[in-house]
């Protein structure tokens, strides 16, 4: 007699045989869950340690104070060049500290943020940490998306490989532990792409969720806009090719349009959540943007504050920024800056696995349908970022390590001899390289370029020195150089006096009076400022802090 659950023509498994099979499956699932948790716990510990120790980076006070203003005063004017959703999440953490806010303050966003942290009776590090925690939580959740996406494509082994690359990525850890918008926007885009991939089997539940995630990405940062047409095209493909049979092409197009409508609705909802009456007056310093760019901003079906924010972004793009790459200072931008910076700041094993994963995705028949989903959005976003005028850091391409972690997980499907052993070895190499840089993730560079202590010789700004080490500098001066006169040139939004640093500005003093310790942020060193460079040349480097600040000693009598 056969079991009711047996397939026709196949005898049912004996109870003695079925029980070990179920036990082995349960044990494998528990082991898989344990490894996932271990990787995420490691990442959480790295980000939490980094968040606790670092002083505010350049942009964080702006985002934290704007988010608190949105929630407390429902005023959209602060930091209008970015949509509000990411700042609402950051502000939701900061308001838990019950910070003091002076909404009547009349000044620029950067000055407003510094005053909010340091002048109005708040505990700066406590407020800042509270604002960073929502981003840390989101970064960990996106790790689960990376794992789930790669598991869908390449099984549990692929999911673990992808999650390991994500969890040990120095750039993701560095920017995922800050109250900024780069990682949230990139992670939401990946979430939307994953949901679109799943819509190939079940369009009805997954397409609306993909539209919401896409809208959340655009409502977090405008740099997500170039990916919107790509994701809408992928939505149409998912519906058209969905199982069990192909849907009519008009149905696919209408479904993609529905995804777009949902995305637009999320952007509108993010603005209405701040101010339901959507009161808005364009800033007096809003740049006039003509031509096709200005028309495009007005045509987009988004609120007027969003459109004016785009005009503000175009104004930033029209400036000539100072760049630094491989020891050369230049004005303007170089199209190859981001690929070059990624080459420096990505672990060598990760670069190899990215290449293997992309090759597997393009060549293996099982994976080819996933290639447009994984590679097209990242390629379009990278091409758009490479045309920008701000060569200020790989954070503008943070989507690359996030998307390519999933692609790299597909490398486990390669059947070449030694492929599995090579994949494991490369993953271990990545883990060791990442752990060695702990807790200095922001200035990370790989071994081929000398490691974190040499990054400032090749890159600057948010790649190395974004103002994050004031607290460490204060500890170093107190422990090693007590009572010595300090002259400080600092890049960042922190307040040196809050951390107990008593320093004078050497840029405003006659060179002959600058004696003692000359402390300089590394991003200032590469500027070749005529007021600072002679002082550095006549000083001796004696110490460094966090791979981002150099301490020089000025002789009693300068030559």
Q: Picking from 258-262, 266-270, 404-408, 412-416, which range would have the lowest pLDDT averaged per residue?
A: 412-416
Q: Could you give the CA distance from residue 22 to residue 15 in angstroms, rounded to a whole number?
A: 10
- Of 421, 436, 448, the closest CA to residue 346 belongs to 448
CB atoms within 10 A of CB 513: 12
Whether the bond between 439 and the residue before it is cis, its omega within 30 degrees of 0, is yes
Cβ pair 317, 389 in contact under 8 A: yes
Report the pLDDT averaged over residues 506-510: 93
Whether the bond between 453 and the residue before it is cis, its omega within 30 degrees of 0, is no
User: pLDDT at position 10, please?
Assistant: 44
Percentage of the chain modeled with pLDDT above 90 = 85
Cβ pair 84, 92 in contact under 8 A: no
| Domain assignment of residue 75, yes or no | yes
What is the Cα 269 distance to its own chain's centre?
23
User: pLDDT at position 132, please?
Assistant: 98
Last residue of a domain, one of 113, 132, 151: 132
Report the pLDDT averaged over residues 116-123: 95
Helix or strand holding residue 12 (H, E): none
Q: Could you give the CA distance from residue 545 to residue 519 in angstroms, rounded to a whole number?
A: 10
Q: Could you give the CA distance from residue 61 to residue 465 in angstroms, rounded to a whole number?
A: 16
Given a cut of 90, is residue 76 above it in pLDDT?
A: yes
Model pTM?
0.93
User: pLDDT at position 18, please?
Assistant: 57
Structure tokens given for 431: 């883990």
Q: Could you give the CA distance from residue 136 to residue 66 in angstroms, rounded to a whole number?
A: 19
Q: Could you give the CA distance from residue 124 to residue 129 in angstroms, rounded to a whole number?
A: 8
- Of 486, 446, 444, 442, the closest CA to residue 468 belongs to 442
Report the pLDDT averaged over residues 218-242: 96
**Beta strands 322-325 and 328-331: pairing type?**
antiparallel
User: pLDDT at position 28, please?
Assistant: 82
Q: Could you give the CA distance from residue 245 to residue 239 in angstroms, rounded to a whole number?
A: 10
Query: In this predicted model, which residue has the larger pLDDT, 248 or 546?
Result: 546
Given a cut of 60, is residue 558 above it in pLDDT?
A: no
Number of folded domains in the chain?
2
| Domain assignment of residue 512, yes or no | yes
Given a cut of 70, is residue 148 above it in pLDDT?
A: yes
User: pLDDT at position 411, please?
Assistant: 95
> Confidence class of residue 284 from pLDDT cuts 50, 70 and 90?
confident
SS (H, E, C) 216-271: HHHCCCHHHCCHHHHHHHHHHHHHHCCCCCCCCHHHHHHHHHHHHHHHHHHHHHHH
Last residue of a domain, one of 108, 132, 156: 132
Structure tokens given for 130: 């509270």
Q: Picking from 25-34, 494-503, 531-540, which range would have the lowest pLDDT averaged per residue?
A: 25-34
Q: Look at the block and give the residue holding tokens 């900024």.
A: 180
Q: Could you give the CA distance from residue 95 to residue 69 in angstroms, rounded to a whole number?
A: 10
Given a cut of 60, is residue 2 above it in pLDDT?
A: no
> Confidence class of residue 5 from pLDDT cuts 50, 70 and 90?
very low
> Confidence class of residue 242 from pLDDT cuts 50, 70 and 90?
confident
pLDDT tens for 479-494 read: 999 989 999 999 999 9
Cβ pair 227, 188 in contact under 8 A: no
CB atoms within 10 A of CB 2: 11
User: pLDDT at position 15, please?
Assistant: 53
Residue 473 structural domain: 463-554
User: pLDDT at position 443, please?
Assistant: 97
Whole-angstrom Cα Rg for the chain: 26
What is the Cα 437 distance to its own chain's centre?
18
Give the CA angle between residues 375, 81, 286 to the nearest 5°. Answer: 130
Structure tokens given for 29: 């699932």
- Of 206, 200, 211, 192, the closest CA to residue 246 belongs to 200
User: pLDDT at position 146, please?
Assistant: 98
**CA of 268: how far to CAs of 135, 175, 223, 306, in Å?**
22, 27, 17, 9
- Of 188, 187, 165, the closest CA to residue 43 belongs to 165
| Domain assignment of residue 69, yes or no | yes
| Domain assignment of residue 122, yes or no | yes
The length of the chain in residues reads 559
CB atoms within 10 A of CB 152: 16
Cβ pair 132, 179 in contact under 8 A: yes
| Domain assignment of residue 2, yes or no | no
Whether the bond between 244 and the residue before it is cis, its omega within 30 degrees of 0, is yes
Over the chain, what is the mean pLDDT?
Answer: 93
Give the CA angle between residues 180, 182, 186 to the nearest 5°. Answer: 140
- SS3 of residue 53 by DSSP: helix
Last residue of a domain, one of 86, 117, 132: 132
SS (H, E, C) 259-325: HHHHHHHHHHHHHHHHCCCCCCCCCCCCCCCCHHHHHHHHHCCCCHHHHHHHHHHHHHHCCCCEEEE
Q: Look at the block and give the residue holding tokens 């079906």.
A: 301
Structure tokens given for 136: 């840390």
Helix or strand holding residue 422 (H, E): helix 419-437
| Domain assignment of residue 484, yes or no | yes
**CA of 354: how far to CAs of 108, 441, 518, 523, in Å?**
42, 20, 42, 30
| Domain assignment of residue 83, yes or no | yes
- Of 13, 37, 61, the closest CA to residue 178 belongs to 61
**Beta strands 486-489 and 516-521: pairing type?**
parallel
Percentage of the chain modeled with pLDDT above 70 = 94
Given a cut of 80, is residue 159 above it in pLDDT?
A: yes
Contacts with 219 (C-beta within 8 Å, 6 or more apart), sequence order: 83, 84, 85, 86, 266, 267, 269, 270
Q: For the chain, what is the total number of helices (H) and then of strands (E)?
A: 20, 6
User: pLDDT at position 7, please?
Assistant: 39
> Confidence class of residue 4 from pLDDT cuts 50, 70 and 90?
very low
| Domain assignment of residue 79, yes or no | yes
Q: Could you give the CA distance from residue 374 to residue 393 in angstroms, rounded to a whole number?
A: 23
Cβ pair 413, 360 in contact under 8 A: yes
């Amino acid at each position: 007699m056969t079991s009711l659950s047996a397939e026709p023509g196949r005898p049912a498994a004996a109870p003695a045989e079925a029980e070990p099979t179920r036990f082995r499956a349960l044990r494998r699932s528990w082991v898989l869950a344990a490894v996932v948790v271990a990787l995420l716990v490691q990442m959480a510990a790295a980000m939490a340690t980094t968040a606790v120790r670092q002083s505010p980076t350049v942009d964080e006070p702006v985002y934290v104070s704007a988010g608190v203003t949105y929630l407390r005063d429902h005023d959209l004017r602060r930091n209008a060049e970015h949509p509000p959703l990411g700042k609402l999440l950051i502000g939701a953490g900061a308001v838990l500290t019950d910070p003091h806010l002076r909404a009547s303050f009349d000044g620029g966003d950067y000055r407003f943020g510094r005053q909010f942290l340091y002048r109005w009776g708040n505990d700066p590090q406590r407020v800042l940490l509270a604002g960073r925690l929502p981003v840390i939580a989101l970064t960990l959740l996106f790790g689960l998306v990376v794992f789930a996406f790669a598991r869908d494509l390449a099984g549990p082994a692929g999911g673990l490989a992808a999650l390991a690359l994500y969890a040990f990525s120095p750039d993701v850890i560095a920017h995922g532990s800050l109250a900024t918008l780069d990682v949230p926007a990139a992670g939401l885009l990946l979430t939307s792409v994953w949901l679109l991939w799943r819509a190939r089997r079940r369009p009805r539940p997954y397409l609306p969720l993909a539209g919401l995630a896409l809208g959340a990405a655009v409502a977090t940062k405008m740099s997500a806009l170039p990916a919107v047409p790509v994701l809408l095209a992928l939505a149409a493909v998912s519906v058209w090719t969905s199982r069990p049979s192909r849907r009519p092409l008009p149905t696919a197009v209408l479904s993609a349009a529905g995804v777009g409508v949902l995305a637009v609705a999320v952007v509108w909802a993010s603005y209405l959540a701040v101010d339901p009456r959507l009161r808005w007056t364009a800033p007096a310093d809003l740049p006039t943007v003509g031509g096709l760019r200005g028309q495009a901003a007005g045509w987009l079906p988004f609120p007027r504050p969003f459109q004016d924010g785009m005009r503000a972004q175009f104004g930033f793009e029209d400036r000539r920024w100072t760049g630094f790459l491989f020891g050369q200072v230049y004005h303007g931008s170089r199209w190859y800056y981001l690929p070059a910076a990624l080459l420096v700041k990505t672990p060598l094993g990760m670069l190899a696995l990215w290449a293997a994963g992309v090759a597997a995705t393009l060549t293996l028949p099982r994976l080819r349908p996933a290639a447009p989903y994984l590679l097209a959005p990242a390629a379009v976003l990278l091409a758009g970022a490479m045309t920008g005028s701000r060569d200020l850091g790989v954070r503008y391409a943070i989507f690359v390590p996030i998307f390519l972690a999933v692609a790299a997980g597909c490398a486990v499907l390669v059947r070449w001899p030694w492929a599995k052993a090579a994949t494991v070895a490369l993953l271990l190499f990545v883990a060791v390289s990442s752990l060695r840089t702990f807790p200095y993730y922001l200035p990370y560079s790989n071994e081929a370029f000398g490691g974190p202590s040499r990054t400032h010789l090749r890159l600057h700004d948010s790649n190395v020195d974004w103002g994050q080490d004031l607290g460490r500098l204060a500890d170093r001066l107190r422990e090693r150089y007590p009572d010595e006169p300090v002259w400080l040139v600092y890049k960042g939004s922190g307040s040196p006096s809050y951390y107990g640093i008593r320093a004078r500005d050497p840029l405003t003093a006659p060179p002959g009076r600058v004696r003692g310790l000359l402390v300089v942020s590394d991003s200032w060193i590469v500027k070749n400022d005529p007021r600072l460079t002679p002082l550095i040349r006549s000083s001796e480097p004696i110490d460094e802090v966090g791979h981002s600040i150099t301490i020089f000693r000025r002789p009693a009598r300068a030559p």
